[in-house]
Every structure is written in C-alpha cells, then in structure tokens.
Amino acid sequence: MKRRDFLKTNATIGLGVTTIGQTFADPNKEELFADKKLRLGFIGVGLRGTNHLQNALYRDDIVIPAICDIDPERIKIAEDLIVKKGMKKPESYTQGEFAFLKMLERNDLDAVVISTPWEWHTPMAVAAMKAGKYAGVEVSAANTIEECWDLVNTSEATGVPCMILENVCYRRDVMAILNMVRQGLFGEMIHCQCGYQHDLREVKFEPNVEFGEKGLHEAKWRTTHSVYRNGDLYPTHGIGPIATYLDINRGNRFVSLVSTATKARGLHNYILEKGGANHPNAKVEFKLGDVVSTLITTFRGETILVTHDTNLPRPYSLGFRVQGTKGLWMNDGNTIYIEGKSQPHRWEESAKYIKEYDHPLWKKYQDKAEGSGHGGMDFFVLHAFIEAAKRKAPTPLDAYDAAAWSVISHLSEQSISQGGTPQLFPDFTRGKWFLRKPNFALGDEY
C-alpha cells in the first residue's frame, strides 16, 4: 500500500459538529485517577522517541504494552530500556512502514506518542484517533492544509483528542512570561516575535555531507524538505508559546500572513567547505531560502513576526519578543522594560521578573522536571499528555492548535511562491474560537 493511497483512503471522514474532547471526563476529579495506570504505546523510538520513552519510564503510572519502529536497532534499545525498568518486554512492530496500523488494533492501548519523520505525523495521528487512542504527535503536526483538516475532522468526528507535543510552551521563562501577560504587566498585547533560529547544518548532513539514503538520523529525511520546499518548515517552537499569550483559538485567531525568503546559499556552501566541489551533493540545488520571514495578523489586531533560519552559522535562538502597551520582554539578551517599574528608557535584566512570576506548574514539578531534556520542558509536555489521557479529558493543546500552528508552513510556501501574496488562515474551529476560553496552564494542574 503506497503512502498516497493510505492518505487518500483515510483522509476523508465526516465533518464533525462537536467540540474536540467535549465528551470526555471531568479533569478535576483527581481522586479517580491517582492510581490509574495509562497504557501507553510509542510509534517511533529514534532519538526523539527514545527521549519521550525515557521520561515516561520515570513515572509509576504507565505501562508500555507495545512499541513500533522500522529500525531494529532502535527497537532493541527501547526494549532494553523498558525491561531494565522492570517492566514486561513490549510487543514490537517493525515490519514495514505501516506496521503501526497493526499495533493500533490492540485493545490494551489508551494512548500513543508519535515521534517519526514529518510526513508520517498526520496519517499516524489520524489512524490513532480512529482506533480510539489519544494521539500525542511531535512537531510540526502537519505539512499541508489538507493534513491540518484531517487532524481536526478526525478529532471532531471521533471525539478523541490529538495533542501537539510542543515542549517550548512549557519552557520556564516562557511560562513566567505567560503569567505576566495574563496579569497585565505588559498591558494590552500589540506585537510579538518568535522563530526557529538554529544552525542545523550538521543535523542535515550526517555523516560528513551526506543525506537521504546515505544519511543518518534526521539527515535521512529532514534535509530533503530543504531541497524541495521553500517556506517556514518548522514554525511551532516559536508560534506555540505566542499563541498561548494571544489566546489563539480561544477568543482570538490568526487571520492572514505574508512570507518572504532570501536566496539559498548556506547548505550549498557547507557542502563545498566540508566535502569539496567534486562531492556529488555539491550539485544539489536547495530550494529553502536561508532566512524565511513571516508576518501574521490576528483578529484582535496584533502582529507576529516569525523567522525560520536553519542553514547559516549562528547561535541558537527562538527570538521571542512580547510587546504590549506597557512594555516588552526580549529573549535575546534577557531584557525587559515595564513602564512605571523600569527606569525610563533603560533596559532591565529579566531574571528577577522570571523568578517573581515563576509559573505554578514549575514550582510544583521542578524536581521531577530536572534532567528530563531541553531544560526540563520535556517533562511538562509529556506529563500534560499522560494526565489528560488518564482522565479521558481534553488535552491542553489540541487538534485546533496543531492545525493553526502547523498550517503556517503550507501558507508560507504559498505566499513565497506567489511573490509575497497574503494568505488567509482557515478557521479550523469553524467559529468556535470566538466562545472558547483559554485553558492552557491556568494553575498548577498539567
């Protein structure tokens, strides 16, 4: 069965009329879930999937009946980790790209974590929801506008939640700023900036300057997107936190965007420097511009500048800037200015504000988060998914969020290909955004 045929047969599902997750249990009945064990499966146990697996194994409220990966070496590593923890060896599914479908037929799975190449995220999440399993899907959740609708339509029709596993939403400083936004320190929101600015040349060419069939890890699949696509290919690390600040899908929505891209030089130059002009990959033409800039407008009148910059030498940065009528915070330089608190026209270091407005979730779980990966935020995103699935409750980030954030890739590609023409965002909530209330990290509950 070819992937396009699988997508064709599984993409069409009746348009739902329910709100995602509305049929699930009251998440506040804590006593009902204290001793409940979640039966959790893993689709994809490569580097990222293994990180999720290791974090799950620190918990005493999960069992792992099954795992799936087409790489036998990664399966062996995962099996050993599970058995070493004292759990029963899981059933492993390795026979071909569609082995996950057989795994999803099991009746002893409540939820699955999906950590696979981008092109498999949507079909796997859709299949999981149709099988009645909570779907926790790595970022980005979808590549095309059709895939975004597939996630929403399936979640609505089945009533099964799909959570985009965007860990940066749980970064400690990001959550402290969320606290400040909600308490009005910045005043009314006006403008935000974010992005994914990360030198990935060594990731895209491993080993040496190889990718595709000769590549290792992400170089096997990720680099090919840079050959054929020109747009913001990885927007959610930046836009996820900003969406929580601006109440996107919950009283506000993205309306339109325009995108531009620079010429493509970084990856080609890297090949020349490391492999020489005679290396076969020196002839590859990369379509992805080195710096992609996207400007989004919202219903409430805010603007958001999103930057994608992964092919040039630079330090890592998500480039956050949060600006309102009373001041602003900038991640680069860790600076802040609050009118009436800061000295006029003088930056302050943001550290004392980050400490003062530390989010209740971090205060409650900081010891458990330590060492979980990416500064602790990996604990929180998996914790939220597991706790929601245990309770059969709506996830704090849902299919509407997965669609609205991920569709930026598709729309930016369209805008660039049309010379910077504005693109309209679909309303994936079908009007429900207007009445939905903010629900992300409102207290110390996942």
Q: Residues 225-236: pLDDT tens digits?
A: 999 999 999 999
146: helix, coil or strand? helix
Q: Which residues contact 96 (CB under 8 A, 6 or more apart)?
A: 70
- pLDDT bracket for residue 36 (50, 70, 90): confident
Mean pLDDT across 339-349: 98
CB-based contact 427:433 (threshold 8 Å): yes
H/E stretch holding 227: helix 222-228
CA angle, corner 75, sides to 74 and 81, nearest 5? Answer: 90
Contacts of residue 352, defined as CB under 8 A and 6 or more positions apart, other chains included, come to none
- Which structural domains are found in the chain, ordered by start? 38-164 (3.40.50.720), 168-359+399-434 (3.30.360.10)
Cα separations in angstroms, 160 against 125, 319, 440? 10, 34, 18
pLDDT tens digits, one per residue of 88-100: 999 999 999 999 9
In degrees, rounded to 5, the angle at the alpha carbon of residue 126 between the alpha carbons of residues 194 and 6 is 115
Distance, CA of 33 to CA of 390 (rounded, Å): 7
- How much is the pLDDT for 29? 52
DSSP 36: -
CB 396 within 8 A of CB 446: yes
84-130 pLDDT, tens digit each: 999 999 999 999 999 999 999 999 999 999 999 999 999 999 999 99
Q: Which of 117, 118, 137 is nearest to 126 (CA)?
A: 137
Please check the confidence at residue 2 and state whether its pLDDT lies above 60.
no
pTM of the model: 0.93
Residue 33: per-residue pLDDT: 57
Q: Are 357 and 179 in contact (CB under 8 A)?
A: yes
Between CA 331 and CA 193 the distance in angstroms is 10
Each residue of 283-304: pLDDT tens digit? 999 999 999 999 999 999 999 9
The continuous run of DSSP H or E covering 112 comes out as strand 111-114
Predicted pLDDT of residue 19? 55
Token code pair at residue 89: 């060896």
432-437: Cβ within 8 A, 24+ apart = 432/19, 432/400, 433/248, 433/249, 433/250, 433/251, 433/252, 433/253, 433/400, 434/251, 436/19, 436/249, 436/250, 436/251, 437/250, 437/251
pLDDT in tens, 164-219: 999 999 999 999 999 999 999 999 999 999 999 999 999 999 999 999 999 999 99
pLDDT value for 445: 87
Q: Is the pLDDT of residue 18 over 90?
A: no
Q: What is the pLDDT of residue 21?
A: 54
Q: Which residues contact 180 (CB under 8 A, 6 or more apart)?
A: 186, 329, 353, 357
